[in-house]
Amino acid sequence: MDETQNFRLKYPPLIDPFGRKLTYLRIAVTDRCNLRCTYCMPEEGVPFIPHERIIRFEELYRIVAVMSGSGISKVRITGGEPFVRKGLMEFFERIAALDGLRQIHLTTNGVLIHQYIGKLKRLGVSGINLSMDTLNAEKFKTITRREGWEEVQKSFRLAMEYGIPLKINSVIQRGINDDEIEGLARLAEEHPIQVRFIEQMPFNGLIKEFRKPFTASEIKERLENVFGELYPENNPGSTAQLFSVPGFAGKIGIIAGYSRTFCDSCNRLRITSTGILKTCLYDRGSIDLKTLVRDGADDARLYEAITHAVAKRHKDGFEAEEMTMNIPKQSMAQIGG
Ligand code: SAM
Ligand code: SF4
């Protein structure tokens, strides 16, 4: 993986009807997880998908290879928890060797990744997004319904030691961890990292029980009350509005996932753990790439199916959601965030 090389695309780039070029692919390699975050899934977990319906790594590799030949230059591996899936590091190593991919990122809860940080660094991981909703060990147990606080702290320390670009993701829940906004933000005061606060979205594996979240503007107000004015940075294509704060080594981000203020510049596709291609976080999935691969589709056929889905992409998350209004929301673990 060479971030600077020139690479000749094998296929024309993927461009949607609104002129947005798709360059970023998020892959949920599993729907399973070793935690049970309250905003993501119920205590008993989501009904986990049987193994045969989960896309295999060799099937995923074929799809990523076709996409990297059509302008996808950045991949994020997510889940569920990616590190609960066997064979993840081998898959990482294989896609890291694909010519067209310039960046491979990971999103993780941090409980298992510490064992692999050295190897990930050697393989050239571009960055890690580490979920951390609290700085308090007891509250960690309340939010995630599991143990693992020490391991997450270890992963954080090791990523810093190895100099891997780090982003902290914190979902803010009213009355649960909104009192930690300041403490979490201070991690970016001390370290050259991004701390990103995320509005809770209605993806918790349940039909109901979703109350209006602690909004992006409330988060910003809370931060400005403590740190003074936040200075917006220009970072097009990102879901996070980034801010610099005088005296901070790092940056603060706010992700208005519920308010959806970033659709205009969205450049991302998603593949779920069952191999469904999604062109929007809020849609129900466009095509079943796994079945196409299993039915023997060649690369040209895969490319054609992907372009077909891209040609029908919705304008924004509100339009996509309208089509799925009365269907129970999936868990974020099934979609990959
Ligand atoms: N297990 C990994 C983790 O927690 O980082 C990767 C998968 S998780 C689904 C990806 C991201 O989605 C995490 O940062 C998590 O906090 C976020 N997330 C999960 N459910 C969410 C929800 N209902 N609203 C907003 N963000 C959510
Ligand atoms: Fe697991 Fe990540 Fe969902 Fe938490 S947010 S339950 S760690 S998939």
pLDDT tens-digit series, residues 1-17: 655 556 789 999 999 99
With contact defined as beta carbons under 8 Å apart, do 61 and 91 qualify?
Answer: yes
Calculate how far, in angstroms, residue 279's C-alpha sits from the geometric centre of ligand 2: 22
Domain range list for the chain: 24-335
> From CA 279, how far away is CA 311, in angstroms rounded?
10
> Quick count: other Cβ atoms within 10 Å of Cβ 265?
11
Q: Which atom of ligand 2 is nearest to the CA of 41?
A: 6
Point out the ligand nearest to the CA of residue 214: 1
The pLDDT-based confidence of 324 (bands split at 50, 70, 90) is low
Centre of ligand 2 from the C-alpha of residue 333, in Å: 6
Q: Residue 213 is which amino acid?
A: P
64 has pLDDT over 80? yes
The finding on whether 287 has its CB within 6 A of some atom of ligand 2 is: no
Q: Which residue has the higher pLDDT, 141 or 43?
A: 141
| Ligand 2 neighbour 188 (Cβ under 6 A) | no
How would residue 244 be classed by pLDDT, with cut points 50, 70 and 90? very high
Alpha-carbon distances of 182 from 172, 219, 250, rounded to whole Å: 12, 10, 14
Question: Whole-number mean pLDDT of the chain?
Answer: 91
Ligand 1 atom nearest to 169, measured from its CA: 14
CA–centroid distance, residue 164 to ligand 1 (Å): 20
Residue 282, Cβ density class (10 Å: 0-12 exposed, 13-18 middle, ≥19 buried): buried
Q: What's 24-335's CATH class? A: alpha beta
Nearest to 252 by CA among 306, 205, 310, 189: 189
For residue 79, give the ligand 1 atom closest to its CA: 7
Asked whether 79 lines ligand 2 (CB < 6 A), one says: yes
Q: Calculate mean pLDDT across residues 109-118.
A: 98
CA 221/CA 231 separation, integer angstroms: 13
- pLDDT(207) > 60: no
Average pLDDT over residues 167-188: 97
Q: What angle, 0 to 180 degrees and rounded to 10, lies between the N-to-C axes of helices 57-68 and 88-96?
A: 20
Question: Ligand 1 atom closest to Cα of 170?
Answer: 16
Distance 307 CA to ligand 2 centre (A): 31
pTM as predicted: 0.94
Residue 52 alpha carbon to ligand 2 centre in Å: 22
Nearest CA among 145, 237, 234, 240 for reference residue 188: 240
Task: Choose one of 32, 34, 41 to mutate for the ligand 2 pocket test, by most ligand atoms within 8 angstroms of C-beta.
Answer: 41
Nearest ligand 2 atom, CA 331: 3
**Cα atoms in the 13 Å half-sphere on the side-chain side of 290:** 17
The closest-lying atom of ligand 1 relative to the alpha carbon of residue 203 is 23
Please tell me if the CB atom of residue 171 comes closer than 6 angstroms to any atom of ligand 2. Answer: no
